[in-house]
Structure 1
């Protein structure tokens, strides 16, 4: 069976969701929200206008990020964290029947990542069904297995409930409503006179009786609501419908959240590219000369990619998606297919073409990724916008008018997905390709950029820099090891090319300006009329004088649009001239190493844990963070200072059927082992320790086995915290033992034995990026890709870290620098500490080849133990590097012993003063 490993951003997303709901259980969802915002440096207030007291949060993930897979994992984790069950009822709502069918298959079929996400948490204890299949779910399954019902929101969204089957009386569901308590029955819909009129088998005696309906079944079981593509369903009727279903909580998944969405976690498109989930950039070719040229070039692009794919170890067969015009247009599906197959056309074998429209469904049952499948071209109009996926789709060829092709971004989303979710050896196979017919190239590029933002989850900078436009004949990058890169707006050049040249800016204008280009701008600005207005071609940086001229020619909305076009071009210029985009390597940074068992190794948490002799039985068995008090019909559980109240209910409501009847210690211990498994602890050791914990709680704390079984989710959380606490103590001990012997990795030939370097295409910065007026000139990834750097504080003062970054950027001995991103040890530079990894705020390469790590600390943090340890580690790294590395703890001038400015502190460190 295939195994699926979640990506880093997927783990982070799920952790953010679980943390929010775990805290919501203890402290309330508003407090949990405020804490979540504080962790990401945001201050957005929680919006309770839609769901009231029901916790409702949204996850923003760009197209291609695996929303369905993450939701499959999320329902189990949220079920345990918030609903206190490992057998939740889930109502999974999607916007269309096509996506409903696709989601059902993804969750049911073994070998699919979504199915694997459920199986990892529930094993065989899961039922995935449609509304029509819900009658096959027996009452005994509820509480003993996860029940996931996939439906469209349209199935429930109606004001008159008598006209929808889901609200109708259904005798087959009657067993689920037997023996209801008054409290359970009170909120459920009852049979009315109107129902008797609609359903003739009901009689006046049934009036007031609880309906055994699909909607009541859902409301009775208080489901976790998962809403996919949530931006499609944010209407008053939709939320009235959701509240009527009595959900426990709501999780929205979308690429483009709208106002009112409580976005608890945001994944950027760059993070998807870092994980090889999507192909970027999008290489755009516009075809003003006619659709046949676009078709021919799309076919040639595919042919060239297939030659590259032959060099790969994995099977890849590039596919073109042709978007024909609808009926009544010039290039309909029939016209296009005829051109592709005719002797006077492209002479393509018809077996290589699949037509997928509302009338023709030639992809039905076709496994397009199979080596035996001949399909290389898919022709559609808009049928592929939902319910279809093909990781071999590389080329989009849209023959529809660019400004009216509303579905082009949906097809582009299919092209963006990376085959097998991994980078290819051939550089050309790591990119997506679009051939689009249009009279104006600028309009096409801008339209695509707008759609990447509005419909696919990109931020403005990601969208502006995701589209490149190479000239004819330079569509593909040479696949060499000589550092060939994109430069000058998409031209493929070598590292030896002129790096100072700024790519041309192409600014869309609604009309030709009434005034001619001023004489002082004539050498750099050219105006050209187009059918849609005009284009300003700016050769060089769009400076203030050029901006003033272009903006001065318009007013109102036109002026705003021109301003947006100018800013977009500045973003593209900034991205193209960044050192990373130009293929300039960043200097190697040696890691701190330690000799362990006679072998040099980087000092990481694993090694520290071994040095500290992490051993579960090195101290008496205890679980200090777990307390339980039974108070009548409730349990109060105190886990590490957070009190959680659990209502005592019937066994089936508590999910006790998941444990065999008359559960004993062995059953509970094996369940805890599954929930708390650790990669560095053998199962036999873990089972022995867990049994000791369970017996300690019964013998020394006086807790009954029944109470431990009923509160096992909180018990598992306490066990996980105890394991982490003990491991961390071992890490601290190991680090303290290793610190005196730490040294920077030695040089071997022209490289360090163990080192880190910033990858030009893998910056882990997350939006929002820096947006201040100062334009940094030396940031390795460009001015518009600086992670977590605020220009001013809430009080209006210049932010201290901004002042530090500006001082680094202006230091003439700095070649380039990076705003280092915390908590991503793969793509960020780190040094070990006793508690975790330490990520200096800034890392710079100097013009003489040395490297400088700068950690900024405000005055109030200077005396902390954490700061002292970081300074000690940084000093050890510098001292052991043989003069190759410098470390600076930068502080505000009023905190510096000599009152030096930040500029002076940096200069003194570089000069060795």
Structure 2
């Protein structure tokens, strides 16, 4: 079976969900929510108006982020963390039948990442079924296997339950409702007199009897609810329906959450690009001269991409999506296909064309990703909006005159996914392409950017910079196609070291301003009428005088629209002139290294663990931090000295049926091995250690095997904590051993193996980004992509870290700098410590080629052990670098012994004073 490794943002999302639900079980979901918000620096209150006491959280993931794959992993983790079961019942609700069919296939078919996500946690103990297949699930399977029911929310959403089949009496489900307790039966719907008229085989004797219905089956088993595309289902009727189903908890997955969604984790489009999930930027080409020109250029684009793809290690066959006009238009499906195949047209083999409309379904059953498939051109009108996915789709050619970008946006989502979720060697194959017939290109581009935000999960900056319109000779970076000269890193040499040129700003206006352009702006501002209003072309930056003129020409709603258009253009200008966008490389930063077994290696956690001789049997496997005392239907568990009241689930959800009749220690040990597996511990060693723990708990702690099985999820958590503690002790020991020999990596001939650099397209910053009035000029990724930097504090004062960043930005010796992002060792610069990695707040390249790392500490953090260790490591990095590196611990002037300003501290560090 194919293996699918989760991307970092996917793992982080699942960790956030599991942490929330684990804490919700212990402390309540409001407290868990407040703790989750504190971890990400937010202060949003939990909204309980929709689901009441049922914990309900939302995950925001842009289009192309793999929501279904993450949900497949989430149901198992949340089942253990909150419902205390290895065999949850899950109701998976989707917005349409097309997506229902697609989701069922993804969860069922081996080789799919979604199916693999279920198999990783449940093995063969999982049933995936549609509502009409639920009768095939036997009572013995509930509790022994995960049961996942995929349905549309419309199947349940009705006020009168007597008129919908899912609420009707179904005798085939009767075995599930035998021997119900009064507590189980109380919330379930009963047969009413209204049902007798609808189902004539029922009699008066059935009135008051629990309905053996699909809906009651769901409610009886208290499912985990997964709601896909949740923004479509936030009506009063929808939530009345969800509450009626007695869910254990609710997980919403959407790119565009709406008001009231409890967003516990937010993934940005940049993170998807960092992980090679989507193709960006979108290269948008306008074709005002006619649809045949658009078709020709789209085909040439695809042909060029296929030539480049021939050099890839993975098979890639670029595909065009043609969006024809509806019946009655000039370029219908028939007209387009005729043009594509005619000798007077493009002369394309008809076998390479697939038509996908309501009437023609030539893609049905076609494995378009197979090397044997000839399809290179897909013709549709709007049939690909849902239920179709092909990472080979690279080019969208819309022949509908795009006064509105709605259909363009819906189809554009089909060309964003990256083949194999891996970056291509040819830079041109990391982009998506759109050829659009339009008489009003600027308006379409703006609306498309708006829809990336509203419908596809981009933030405003990501949307503004996701769409580019390069000159034709620079359409294919790294692949030739004009006069652009490409260096060995794949960037335009002509752009790298020149001073940044501010591109033109094109501001869409609702109408022509009544007043002419002021004389002082005549050289930089030009107004042009369009069919939809007007366009202001600003040559250079949109300064305050230009903004005042444009805003002063409108009022109310129109003025707000112009203000948004100006801000969008400023974002585009800022992004275009940023060093990263121009391909300017960032200096190499040497890592702290240690010579291990005769070889120079960066000192990371793995090496520290080896140096510290991490060994499971170095001490007795006693699991001293785990204590269990059963008190009725709760368990008091003492883990690492902190008592937790761990509530038992309902008897049918305890998973007892999942334990074989003759369960023994080995059954529990093998289960613990699956839950606690460590990549660097051989399985025989882990199994031996786990068996010793289980035997110790029974022999020396008087805990029965039955009690350990019934609380195995808590036991697994205690085992994981024990492993983490032991590993951390080894890391500390290994770090102390390596510390005297640590040195900044030397410069080796033609090699930067032991160095880090910031990648121009891989910044892990997360929204909300910096949005203050001061505009930074030297941030490597631009003023609008500065991670976690507040302009002012809650009291209105300038934030201290902002002042530090401004001091770096304004120093004339600084070439460019980066707001370093914590806890992402792949794309951020780090130095090792005895407990973790240390990420300096700011990293700068100086004009003389040196690099500067700045860590800012407030008064309350000065003098503690953590800060002292970071200073020690930073100074060692500087001292051992041969003059290449500078480290500064920056503090507020009131905490500086000499009372120096932050500007003076930065200058003194650079000058070595």
Distance 1:267 1:742 in 2: 36
Distance, in Å, in 2 between the alignment partners of 1:368 and 1:856 is 53
Q: Tell me the residue number matched to 1:645.
A: 646
1:900 matches 2:900:
yes
Instruction: Report the Cα offset of residue 529 of structure 1.
Output: 1.2
| Structure 1 residue aligned with 2:86 | 86
Give a deviation string over 1:177-215, Cα, whole Å, max 9, x none: 001000000000000000111100100000110000000
Query: What is the rounded CA distance, in whole Å, between the counterparts of 1:521 and 1:140 in structure 2?
Result: 79
Shift of 1:405: 4.8
Is the Cα contact below 8 Å between 1:287 and 1:436 reproduced in 2?
A: yes
SS of equivalent to 2:384 = helix
Name the structure 2 match of 1:802.
Answer: 802
User: What residue number does 2:118 align with?
Assistant: 118
Structure 1 contact 486–582 (Cα < 8 Å) conserved: no
Pick closer, same or farther for the CA change 1:749–1:262 going to 2, 3 Å. Answer: same
Q: Which residue of 1 aligns with 2:624?
A: 624
Counterpart secondary structure, 1:383 = coil
Q: How far does residue 484 in structure 1 lie from its aligned partner after superposition?
A: 8.9
Q: Look up the SS of the partner of 1:404 in the other structure.
A: coil
- Which residue matches 1:154? 154
Greater mean deviation of Cα atoms: 608-617 or 693-702: 693-702
Tell me, yes or no, if the aligned pair for 1:305 and 1:318 is still in contact at 8 Å. yes
Aligned position for 2:860: 860
Distance 2:789 2:377 in 1: 45
The residue that corresponds to 1:714 in the other structure is: 714
Question: Residue 770 of structure 1 aligns with which residue?
Answer: 770
Quick check: 473-482 or 66-75, which moved more? Answer: 473-482
SS in 2 for 1:92: strand
Contact 2:191-2:211 at 8 Å conserved across structures: yes
**SS at 1:617's partner residue?**
helix
Match of 2:442 in 1: 442
How far does residue 482 in structure 1 lie from its aligned partner after superposition? 3.8
Deviations 1:496-549 (A, max 9, x none): 674332111111111111111111111111111111111111111111111111
- By how many angstroms is 1:161 displaced? 0.3
Contact 1:744 1:877 in 2 (8 A): yes
- 1:742-771 Cα shifts (integer Å, max 9, x gaps): 000111126545100000110111111101
Q: Contact 1:106/1:115 (CA < 8 Å) preserved in 2?
A: yes
**Which secondary structure state, in structure 1, belongs to the residue aligned with residue 529 of structure 2?**
strand
Distance 2:396 2:496 in 1: 33
Q: In terms of mean alpha carbon deviation, does 747-756 or 165-174 score higher?
A: 747-756
The C-alpha deviation readout for 1:92-134, integer Å capped at 9, x for no partner, is 0000000000000000000000000000000000000000000
Q: CA deviation at 1:649?
A: 5.1
Q: Measure, in 1, the Cα distance between the counterparts of 2:615 and 2:284.
A: 57
**CA separation in 1, counterparts of 2:882 and 2:195?**
85
Shift of 1:638: 3.2
Partner residue of 2:77? 77
Contact 2:509 2:536 in 1 (8 A): yes
CA contact (8 A) 1:89 1:142 kept: yes
| Residues 484, 495 of structure 1: 8 Å contact kept | no
Structure-2 residue corresponding to 1:199: 199
- Say yes or no: does 1:558 pair with 2:551: no
Contact 1:436-1:444 within 8 A present in 2 as well: no
Provide the C-alpha distance between the structure 1 equivalents of 2:667 and 2:753, rounded to a whole number of angstroms: 49
- Equivalent residue for 2:383? 383
CA positional deviation for 1:625: 2.6
SS of residue matched to 2:618 = coil
Q: 1:403, 1:447 within 8 Å by CA — same for their partners in 2? A: no
Secondary structure, aligned partner of 2:888: strand
Corresponding position of 1:657: 657
Write out per-residue CA displacement over residues 344-395 of structure 1, whole angstroms, 9 at most, x where no aligned residue.
Answer: 2222221111111111111000001111111111111111010011111000
**Partners of 1:706 and 1:310 in 2: CA distance:** 60
1:346 alignment partner in structure 2: 346
Deviation at 1:636, TM superposition (A): 2.8
Q: Sort the Cα spacing of 1:648 and 1:271 in 2 relative to 1 into closer, same or farther, 3 A.
A: closer
Counterpart position of 1:591: 591
Structure 2 partner of 1:466: 466
Larger deviation, residues 473-482 vs 331-340: 473-482
Please list the CA deviations of residues 326-348 of structure 1 after superposition, one character each: whole Å capped at 9, or x if unmatched. Answer: 22222222222222222222222
| Alpha-carbon separation, structure 2, partners of 1:64 and 1:648 | 36
Pairwise mapping of residues 869-884 of structure 1 onto structure 2 (< 5 A)? Answer: 869-884=869-884
Residue 241 of structure 1: how far off its partner (Å): 0.3
**Residues 819-840 of structure 1: per-residue CA shift (max 9 Å, x gap):** 0001111100000001110000
Alpha-carbon separation, structure 2, partners of 1:457 and 1:841: 28
1:28 maps to what in 2? 28
Q: Given that residues 745 and 753 in structure 1 are in contact (C-alpha distance below 8 angstroms), is that contact kept between their aligned partners in structure 2?
A: no
1:512 is paired with a residue whose SS is: coil
Counterpart-to-counterpart distance in 2, 1:648 and 1:233: 29
Structure-2 separation of matches of 1:339 and 1:497: 46
Partner in structure 2 of residue 130 of structure 1? 130
Is the Cα–Cα contact under 8 Å of residues 326 and 381 in structure 1 kept in the other structure? Answer: yes
Aligned to 2:286: 286
User: Which residue does 1:603 correspond to in 2?
Assistant: 603
1:4–1:474 Cα change, 3 Å: same
- Is contact 2:478–2:490 with CA below 8 Å preserved after alignment? no
Aligned to 1:107: 107
Cα offset, 1:613, TM superposition: 1.2
Cα deviation for residue 637 of structure 1 reads 2.6
Q: Is the 8 A contact 1:477 1:485 kept in 2?
A: no
Instruction: Look up the match of 2:261.
Output: 261
- Residues of 1 paired with 2:713 and 2:478: CA distance? 55
List per-residue Cα deviations over 1:781-806 (Å, max 9, x = no partner).
00000001011111211111111101
Paired with 1:47 and 1:535, the residues of 2 have a C-alpha distance of 42
Distance, in Å, in 2 between the alignment partners of 1:631 and 1:495 is 71
Aligned length: 908
Q: 1:473 to 1:755 in 2, by over 3 A?
A: closer
Unaligned runs of 5+ in 1: none
Match of 1:500 in 2: 500
Residue 729 (1) aligns with residue 729 (2): yes
Contact 1:484/1:583 (8 A) holds in 2: no
Paired residues of 2:190 and 2:209 also in contact (CA < 8 A): yes
The reply to whether residue 676 of structure 1 matches residue 665 of structure 2 is no
Q: Distance in 2 between matches of 1:648 and 1:529?
A: 67
Q: Give 3-state SS (helix, strand or coil) of 2:458's partner.
A: coil
Match of 1:302 in 2: 302
Kept in 2, the 8 Å contact 1:73–1:117? The answer is: yes
| Equivalent residue number for residue 575 of structure 2 | 575
Kept after mapping to 2: 8 A contact 1:127/1:146: yes
What is the CA-CA distance between 1:295 and the residue it aligns to?
1.3
Contact 1:483 1:583 (C-alpha < 8 Å) held by counterparts: no
Q: How many Å separate the matches in 1 of 2:327 and 2:649?
A: 63
Alpha-carbon shift at residue 558 of structure 1 (Å): 1.0
- Following the alignment from structure 1 to structure 2, what is the Cα–Cα distance between the partners of residues 478 and 4? 29
Partners of 2:829 and 2:466 lie apart in 1 by: 26
Taking the aligned partners of 1:469 and 1:323, their CA distance within structure 2 comes to 20
SS at match of 2:653: coil
Which residue is equivalent to 2:180? Answer: 180
Does structure 1 conserve the Cα–Cα contact (< 8 Å) formed by 2:770 and 2:789?
yes
1:528 correspondence with 2:528: yes
CA distance in 2, matches of 1:778, 1:266: 27
Q: Which deviates more, 407-416 or 867-876?
A: 407-416
User: Where do 1:773-792 residues align within 5 Å?
Assistant: 773-792=773-792
Following superposition of structure 1 onto structure 2, how do residues 31-70 of structure 1 map, counting pairs within 5 Å?
31-70=31-70
Quickly say closer, same or farther: Cα 1:162–1:779, change in 2 above 3 A.
Answer: same
Question: For the structure 1 residues 472 and 589, does the alpha-carbon distance in structure 2 shift closer, same or farther, using more than 3 Å as the test?
Answer: closer
Tell me by how many angstroms 1:704 deviates.
1.0
SS at match of 1:731: helix
Distance in structure 1 (CA, Å) of the matches to 2:546 and 2:643: 59
Contact (CA 8 Å) 2:496, 2:582: kept in 1 or not? Answer: no
Tell me, what secondary structure is at the counterpart of 2:406?
coil
After superposition, residues 295-334 of structure 1 pair within 5 angstroms as: 295-334=295-334
The answer as to 2:400 corresponding to 1:400 is yes
Provide the rounded CA distance (Å) in 2 between the counterparts of 1:688 and 1:521.
79
Separation (CA, whole Å) in 2 of partners of 1:14 and 1:286: 41
**What RMSD, in angstroms, separates the aligned Cα atoms of the two structures?**
1.5
CA distance in 1, matches of 2:650, 2:802: 55
SS of residue in 2 equivalent to 1:385: coil
